[in-house]
Amino acid sequence: MLRIAVLGAGRIAKIHAANVAAHPNATLVLVADPWRAGVDALSTQLGCEAAYDCATVLSREDIDAVVIGTPTDTHIDLLLAAVAQGKAVLCEKPIDLDIAKARSAAQTVERQGGKVMLGFNRRFDPDMLRLRQALDAGQIGAVRQVIITSRDPGLAPRDYLEHSGGILRDMTIHDFDTARHLLGEEPVEVSAFASRLVDPTLEQIDDYDSVMVLLRTASGKQCHINCCRQAVYGYDQRVEVSGASGVLLTDNHRPSTVRHWSAEHTEALEPLQHFFLERYADAYRNELTQFIDALNEGRELPTSMRDGLYALHLADCALESVKTGRSVRVSHNL
């Protein structure tokens, strides 16, 4: 039984804590967050200890691993402290919004032989796992073009957006990781357009709400990402991979399969699943299971600090392309 502490009591941390509590091969020892009301409610519901200081719990001997679900700007301090105490870490992405800090943290972790897994939850989505399996089985031959559609149901609050690092680092970063995961080869060139089509006042915070990106690998494989902060029809998450002998496509999820044919329309009863908490519930569960299984069985963690670094660098390259009107070369010396 792996003994786990969850740091954070917010939206994502709650999901992780419940998944740990329900996992047959792990024990949820405690939940820690300076936000006392949140921690108290969560620990009562899940039957575990409550702690109000994240840093101090990291030295406890009865904890094997920590899940970090706190605000982005605390990630590096907590993960380095956890690694220093010999704890395995599952850390929410991104490592940090500053690539230099993130690079430095990754180097420290690597030097210390730390076990850190980055929470790229979408890799663990059942559709994505099945797609990866089909690719590995050669069902479409060599990959040629990848198309990723990634739209949120609605614009986040301005307060959130101001500290998000911008759409490319906050939202598209997931898709950059998906692109790397599916291309099977590192992108070497990035080109991007960004617009304010949902809310023109985003100019005040130098951010955008709609982006289109192109990626190219050394062998010429191509990837397109389209991202928008608002899709009133629901959370739009689709992926296509075309290869030499076929194409694989995933579809959005709906709350039920019920279709309705009326005199006005056919095949319709409901919008798409609302947002990532519904859409990626299984992904979060699978992510945690792979983290626990890998630790229990002494296997390598399925994602790394380096994955986090690369995704962040691609976001930075895309932003540079938006600003300069040029395609940008991707560095591989991160």
Task: Find the binding residues for a second copy in span 179-198 (CB under 8 A).
Answer: 189, 191-193, 195-198
Q: Which helix (H) or strand (E) holds 119?
A: strand 116-119
Closer CB to a second copy, 324 or 333, in the complex: 324
Sole window of 32-40, 121-129, 161-169, 289-297 interacting with a second copy (rule: CB under 8 A): 121-129
- CB neighbours of residue 209 within 10 Å: 21
- CB neighbours of residue 282 within 10 Å: 15
Q: Which structure tokens are listed for 312?
A: 């962040």
Instruction: Tell the smallest beta-carbon distance from residue 256 to a second copy (Å).
Output: 4
Q: Which structure tokens are listed for 43?
A: 């620990």
Closer CB to a second copy, 201 or 257, in the complex: 257
First to last CA, the chain: 36
Residues between 242 and 301 with contacts to a second copy, criterion CB under 8 A: 242, 244-272
Instruction: Tell the smallest beta-carbon distance from residue 230 to a second copy (Å).
Output: 8
Identify the burial level of 248 via C-beta atoms within 10 angstroms of its C-beta, where 0-12 means exposed, 13-18 middle and 19 or more buried.
buried
Alpha-carbon distance 266 to 257, whole Å? 13
- CB neighbours of residue 325 within 10 Å: 9
Alpha-carbon distance 305 to 310, whole Å? 9
Q: Which structure tokens are listed for 298?
A: 């002494």
Residues between 88 and 107 with contacts to a second copy, criterion CB under 8 A: none
The strand pairing partners of 92, in sequence order, are: 119
Chain-centre distance of CA 145, in angstroms?
22
Identity of the amino acid at 206: D
Closer CB to a second copy, 95 or 228, in the complex: 228
**Spatial contact of 18 and 46, defined as CB atoms under 8 Å apart:** yes
Chain-centre distance of CA 128, in angstroms?
13
**Count residues contacting a second copy (CB under 8 A)?**
76
Closer CB to a second copy, 100 or 137, in the complex: 137
Alpha-carbon distance 232 to 269, whole Å? 16
Instruction: Tell the smallest beta-carbon distance from residue 216 to a second copy (Å).
Output: 5
Sole window of 31-39, 62-70, 80-88, 127-135 interacting with a second copy (rule: CB under 8 A): 127-135
Q: Which structure tokens are listed for 281?
A: 């519930």
Q: Does 111 bind a second copy (CB under 8 A)?
A: no
Contact pattern from residue 204 through residue 243 relative to a second copy, giving x for each residue in contact according to CB under 8 A and a dash for the rest = ------xxx-x-x--xxxxxx-x-x--xxxx-x-----x-
Residues between 140 and 159 with contacts to a second copy, criterion CB under 8 A: 140, 142, 144-145, 147, 149, 151
Closer CB to a second copy, 81 or 214, in the complex: 214
Phi, psi at 236, each rounded to 5°: -100, 110
Instruction: Tell the smallest beta-carbon distance from residue 16 to a second copy (Å).
Output: 16
Instruction: Tell the smallest beta-carbon distance from residue 21 to a second copy (Å).
Output: 9
Instruction: Tell the smallest beta-carbon distance from residue 214 to a second copy (Å).
Output: 5
Residues between 31 and 70 with contacts to a second copy, criterion CB under 8 A: 45
Identity of the amino acid at 143: V
Sole window of 27-35, 131-139, 162-170, 296-304 interacting with a second copy (rule: CB under 8 A): 131-139
Q: Does 160 bind a second copy (CB under 8 A)?
A: no
Q: Which structure tokens are listed for 107?
A: 């180097």
Instruction: Tell the smallest beta-carbon distance from residue 182 to a second copy (Å).
Output: 12
Q: Does 138 bind a second copy (CB under 8 A)?
A: no
Instruction: Tell the smallest beta-carbon distance from residue 254 to a second copy (Å).
Output: 6
